[in-house]
């Protein structure tokens, strides 16, 4: 059982060498530790400590775990393995003394602690006695593939990781049976590994990567490397056969791929910010090359320098739609943005109308739904749209007021809840009063009315009133009205809140 009064043991992976590849968690734990332990050769220089140096703090205890030998020189009666086992046992005792004293110990490890990592020898000897955590790190294999710019494996391919210390015939056998391979622990094993690659017929595919991600990194075709120049911290990579023809990664020499075919996606942004945006809409916006829409709506989409933005005035819907379709016809992925749902008094209809012209017959068009303003306002007060309702616009810009008035009266006679869009604007100030008077011909003056302004935005304001007391002066172009039916109720809650809802059942 672990002693809860003892210190905590943490094995921290530092990645392949670049201090910026140390994880946020690893950096935090390094800075918090009482004791920092690290391995080194007899010269005392520790690669692990140099990587962790930016995250160390003054006053920390440092335990240098210095290997006492090399593989060529030992007079230990148990040979190399006996000497190294004794060394690890002694290191474990030194760390245990700190842990028993209640000090937290971080053991630094290049790469990942449990992937050929030196930390694992401490873990095996101490983890059963103390509270222990392992923080993974970027492996040397991942670091090498990244700097080489070549995929390791793709689809159903198999990656085999081999230590260069294996017999040459074993390495060759494993290489012949795998798609991709990483061979670690080169150094003095390099010549053997090169011969094994040649024996497996894979030398021409192999790459040499030395000290990946550091300022001293070196990359070369393995067949061209001088064996005498190879340090221990290097590896051989045989990348994905699927990508064997990929040129060496030089971003500045590659032209971006051209789009295979354009399309227009009409995207509903919802009534306000990102939390009201669907994942499907977010994906379409992220993938777009061009963004087209009314300026204030485009401003709600985060800027991305890769994308071209085409803001327009709110009264040029047909021109905006044609522009979007022309961009798509030329191969661009175009997102046309609308507030709320694009199919409710918004851009979907305008885009589809223009898309039906013969010149745009081959341009694909998709419509992605969004949360409507009506539903957003309704949610703030409860469920006023819980039964049959209709949606209409008071704007007479695209239809005569006589049509608007007839529809208001028809909805009122049918006892439908009304969701009224575009109730007023700077140039239209009389329609709200006119609509109220038409409704009062068929509805009680006590009919609940909800006025929602800028719902979801910084200026959100929701007012619950009645049809008889509705003041047109509180309604502007950023408002939406919900007018209840004869069954819509306003109820006070014990918590002091007030809800508005329309019951699902209609009186017989």
Q: Where are the beta strands (DSSP E) in 295-388?
A: 308-312, 333-338, 365-368, 382-383
How far apart, in whole angstroms, are the C-alpha atoms of residue 344 and residue 339? 9
Q: What is the pLDDT along the chain (508 residues), one digit of tens a residue?
A: 566 689 999 999 999 999 999 999 999 999 999 999 999 887 778 999 999 999 999 999 999 998 886 555 567 777 778 888 899 999 999 999 999 999 999 999 999 999 999 999 999 999 999 999 999 999 999 999 999 998 999 989 999 999 999 999 999 999 999 999 999 999 999 999 999 999 999 999 999 999 999 989 999 999 999 999 999 889 999 998 876 655 554 434 333 444 457 999 999 999 887 888 999 999 999 989 999 999 999 999 988 889 999 998 877 889 999 999 999 999 999 999 999 999 999 999 999 999 999 999 999 999 999 999 999 999 999 999 999 999 999 988 888 999 999 999 999 999 999 999 999 887 777 899 999 999 999 999 999 999 999 998 888 999 999 999 999 999 988 899 999 999 999 999 888 788 999 999 988 7
How far apart, in whole angstroms, are the C-alpha atoms of residue 115 and residue 136? 9
Secondary structure class of 425 (helix, strand, coil): coil
Alpha helices in 188-316 (DSSP H): 190-199, 279-287, 295-298
Contact 328, 262 (CB under 8 A): yes
**Residue 250: per-residue pLDDT:** 45
Contact 269, 297 (CB under 8 A): yes
**Residue 426: per-residue pLDDT:** 78
- What ranges do the domains of the chain cover? 9-138, 141-244, 263-368, 374-501
Answer yes or no: CATH 3.40.50.300 is held by domain 263-368: no
Residue 45 tokens read as: 């220089």
- Please name the residues in contact with 337: beta carbons below 8 A apart, sequence gap of 6 or more: 267, 269, 285, 291, 292, 293, 294, 297, 298, 300, 301, 347
If you ran DSSP here, which 8-state letter would residue 73 be given? B
How far apart, in whole angstroms, are the C-alpha atoms of residue 220 and residue 101? 49
Give 141-244's CATH code, choosing from 2.130.10.10, 2.50.20.10, 3.10.20.30, 3.30.950.10: 3.30.950.10
Domains 9-138 and 374-501 are alike in CATH topology: no
Q: Determine whether 413 is exposed, middle or buried from the number of CB atoms within 10 Å of its CB (0-12, 13-18, 19+).
A: exposed
**Residue 244: per-residue pLDDT:** 61
Crossing angle, helix 317-329 and helix 347-355, to 10 degrees? Answer: 60
Give 374-501's CATH code, choosing from 3.30.950.10, 3.40.50.300, 3.40.50.2000, 3.10.450.50: 3.30.950.10
CATH architecture of 9-138: 3-Layer(aba) Sandwich (3.40)
Whole-number Cα distances in Å, 451 to 338, 377, 448, 464 = 22, 8, 10, 6
**Residue 374: per-residue pLDDT:** 95
How far apart, in whole angstroms, are the C-alpha atoms of residue 483 and residue 37? 71
């Amino acid at each position: 059982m672990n002693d809860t009064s003892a210190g905590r043991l943490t094995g921290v992976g530092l990645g392949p060498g670049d201090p910026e590849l140390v994880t946020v968690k690893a950096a935090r734990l390094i800075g918090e530790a009482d004791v920092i332990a690290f391995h080194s050769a007899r010269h005392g220089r520790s690669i692990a400590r140099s990587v962790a140096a930016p995250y160390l703090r003054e006053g920390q205890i440092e335990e240098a775990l210095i290997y006492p030998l090399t593989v060529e020189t030992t007079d230990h009666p148990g040979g190399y393995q006996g000497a190294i086992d004794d060394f690890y046992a002694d290191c474990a005792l030194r760390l245990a003394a700190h842990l028993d004293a209640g000090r937290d110990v971080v053991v630094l490890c290049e790469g990942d602690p449990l992937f050929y990592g030196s930390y694992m020898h401490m873990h095996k000897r101490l983890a059963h006695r103390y509270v222990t955590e392992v923080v993974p790190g970027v492996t040397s294999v991942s670091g090498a593939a990244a700097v080489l710019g070549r995929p390791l494996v793709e689809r159903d391919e198999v990656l085999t990781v081999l230590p260069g210390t294996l017999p040459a015939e074993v390495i060759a056998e494993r290489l012949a049976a795998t798609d991709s391979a990483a061979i670690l622990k080169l150094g003095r094993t390099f010549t053997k590994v090169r011969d094994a690659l040649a024996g497996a017929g894979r030398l021409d595919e192999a790459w040499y990567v030395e000290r990946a991600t550091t300022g001293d990194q070196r990359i070369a075709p393995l067949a061209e490397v001088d064996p005498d120049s190879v340090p221990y911290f290097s590896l051989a990579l045989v990348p994905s056969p699927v990508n064997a023809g990929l040129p060496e990664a030089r971003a500045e020499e590659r032209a971006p791929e051209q789009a295979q075919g354009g399309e227009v996606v009409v995207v509903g942004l919802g009534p306000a910010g990102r939390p009201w945006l669907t994942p499907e809409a977010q994906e379409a916006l992220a993938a777009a090359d061009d963004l087209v829409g009314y300026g204030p709506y485009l401003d709600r989409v985060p800027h991305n320098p890769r994308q071209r933005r085409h803001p327009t005035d709110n009264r040029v819907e047909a021109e905006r739609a044609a522009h979007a379709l022309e961009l798509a016809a030329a191969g661009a992925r175009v997102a046309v943005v609308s507030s709320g749902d694009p199919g409710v008094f918004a851009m979907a209809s305008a885009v589809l109308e223009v898309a039906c012209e013969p010149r745009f017959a081959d341009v694909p068009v998709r419509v992605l739904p969004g949360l409507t303003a009506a539903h957003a306002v309704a949610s703030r007060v409860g469920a006023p749209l819980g039964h049959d309702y209709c949606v209409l616009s008071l704007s007479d810009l695209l239809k005569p007021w006589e049509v608007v008035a007839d529809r208001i009266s028809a909805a009122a006679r049918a006892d439908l809840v009304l969701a009224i869009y575009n109730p007023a604007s700077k140039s239209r100030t009389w329609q709200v009063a006119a609509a109220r008077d038409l409704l009062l011909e068929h509805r009680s003056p006590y009919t609940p009315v909800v006025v929602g302004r800028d719902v979801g935005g910084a200026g959100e304001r929701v007012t619950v009133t009645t049809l008889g007391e509705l003041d047109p002066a509180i309604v502007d172009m950023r408002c939406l009205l919900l007018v209840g039916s004869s069954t819509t109720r306003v109820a006070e809650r014990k918590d002091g809140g007030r809800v508005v809802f329309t019951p699902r059942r209609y009186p017989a």
